[in-house]
Structure 1
Amino acid sequence: MPPPPPRQVNVFLLAADNPLELLTLLRENLLLASSQDEHGYSLMHAAASYNHLELLRALVSEFHVNVDLKDEDGETALFVAETVDCARILVEELHADITIVGDEGKTAREKFADENDFPEVAVYLRMKELESQVNGSSAANGIHSPPALPEGVQVNIGTMAEDEAGEVADPEFRRRIEELAAREDFQGEEGQRALRELITEALRGEVGQEREVRQRTS
């Protein structure tokens, strides 16, 4: 009597329900780590969606899966991150690209904001965009591992309202950043103090408000 055929394992179900068993399986068959179903859904997407953070780390660091692996909609694991911890690991540890645009023409942050999903994740991603602008990163080159906020600026994501970060691309913010960057003392104590104040205003959604008040009352 022939032996029974080997049991077929659904790696995507394991990613959802038993990430430790999945890791054991992947170490026995490394090729499975980059698996994608017929819709391009990958183990990266599953790990992010179910907030299995150690699996997420292992897929990139141990099994060398592309952190920006896309599904059929052009969306990466960042598009399904539902917690700030997951988004932070993807962006800051694993260097996910926050500028990637899916087939709908939106970044992960824009999609979250438009659909009113996971506002804390949207605010976190908006902060990373803001940081990259402040520090002169070029979006054309991709934003991988964005730099930190200047010393002394602290933000508690858990206490921020979803609209507190303001609009990252606000022209008033850009104008004021350019003015600061042109100052001779920009790298000095006074220039950096002014920069910290401006970032704090932007994160509170206050940039541009004074200008709008003047326009309404003039």
Structure 2
Amino acid sequence: MASNPFLLAADNDARLLPLLRSDPSLASSQDEHGYSIMHAAASYNHLDLLRTLVDEFRVYVDLKDEDGETALFVTETVDCAKLLVEELHSDIATRNHEGKTAREKLVEEGDFPEVAVYLRVKELEAQVNGVQTETPTNGVHPPPPLPEGVSVNIGSMAPEEVGEVVDTEFRRRIEELAAREDFQGEEGQRQLRELVTEALRGQVNERDVRQRTS
């Protein structure tokens, strides 16, 4: 009985890559629901496997399942989301058949708020840098990378509070920065990266959260 590549991918089984190399077409295969090895690798946080699928086997990073969802929609860690978006250039603006992006689905379901915050920051960062994020395209230009070593820590904030902070206070501050004449200069870009780092570290002004939720 042939090995199931989707189960092997979920387990990151050592037998998977030899199987794919013996029949490269399997790398882009999908089951009856559109579930792919890309989806399995993202869901189980197998980062090296994701790189191999895209770089060696040329699997389309935004391969969709029957719900119109890419691997980004099933990502559960910031490290995986960061790999997909910044290294493999997954399109954060892709919408499923319900019209939701991966970030919007995460917020609606209340799952993995750290990933939702990361994706929201990337949306705002792309807007500020003049990258269109509302029209999906295969040639989308990835936004500038975030600082190395940044980890997400939103403490005890609820998902709805995370969305509120990112959508109001962070947006106000980042738009103010973008309006400055020196925004494209070294100092403006340095302050942009500091602001993004601050948001990812969960240091957005907590007093504003209390005022809006009291």
The two structures have a TM-score, normalised by structure 1, of: 0.76
After TM superposition, the structure 1 stretch with the greater mean CA deviation from structure 2, 12-21 or 75-84, is 12-21
Q: 1:115 aligns with which of 99, 109, 112?
A: 109
**1:58-84 CA-partner distances (Å, limit 9, x unpaired):** 111110000000000000001111111
After TM superposition, the structure 1 stretch with the greater mean CA deviation from structure 2, 188-197 or 85-94, is 188-197
Q: 2:142 aligns with which of 138, 142, 145?
A: 145
SS state at 1:56 partner:
helix
**1:71-128 CA-partner distances (Å, limit 9, x unpaired):** 0000000111111111111111111111111112211111111111111111111121
SS state at 2:32 partner:
coil
Instruction: Structure 2 unaligned segments of length 5 or more: list them.
Output: none
2:7 aligned partner, one-letter code: L
1:156 aligned partner, one-letter code: S
Aligned length: 204
Do the aligned partners of residues 180 and 125 (structure 1) sit closer, same or farther apart at CA in structure 2, a change above 3 Å counting? closer
Structure with larger Rg: 1
Aligned residues with identical type, % of pairs: 66
Q: 1:17 aligns with which of 11, 16, 27?
A: 11
Shift of 1:10: 1.5
2:181 aligned partner, one-letter code: E
The reply on whether 1:157 has 2:180 as its aligned counterpart is no
2:60 aligned partner, one-letter code: N
The question of whether the paired residues in 2 share the 8 Å contact of 1:132 and 1:146 is answered with yes
SS state at 2:14 partner:
helix
After TM superposition, the structure 1 stretch with the greater mean CA deviation from structure 2, 127-136 or 195-204, is 195-204
- 2 CA distance for matches of 1:29 and 1:79? 27
The question of whether the paired residues in 2 share the 8 Å contact of 1:165 and 1:202 is answered with no
Do the aligned partners of residues 18 and 188 (structure 1) sit closer, same or farther apart at CA in structure 2, a change above 3 Å counting? closer
- 2 CA distance for matches of 1:88 and 1:181? 23
Q: What is the aligned partner in structure 2 of residue 59 from structure 1? A: 53
- 2 CA distance for matches of 1:144 and 1:188? 20
Q: CA RMSD in A?
A: 3.3
The two structures have a TM-score, normalised by structure 2, of: 0.77
Q: What is the aligned partner in structure 1 of residue 89 from structure 2? A: 95
SS state at 1:139 partner:
coil
- 1 CA distance for matches of 2:12 and 2:86? 25
- 2 CA distance for matches of 1:113 and 1:195? 25
1:56 aligned partner, one-letter code: L
1:124 aligned partner, one-letter code: Y
Instruction: Structure 1 unaligned segments of length 5 or more: list them.
Output: 1-6, 214-218
SS state at 1:71 partner:
coil
- 1 CA distance for matches of 2:142 and 2:9? 26
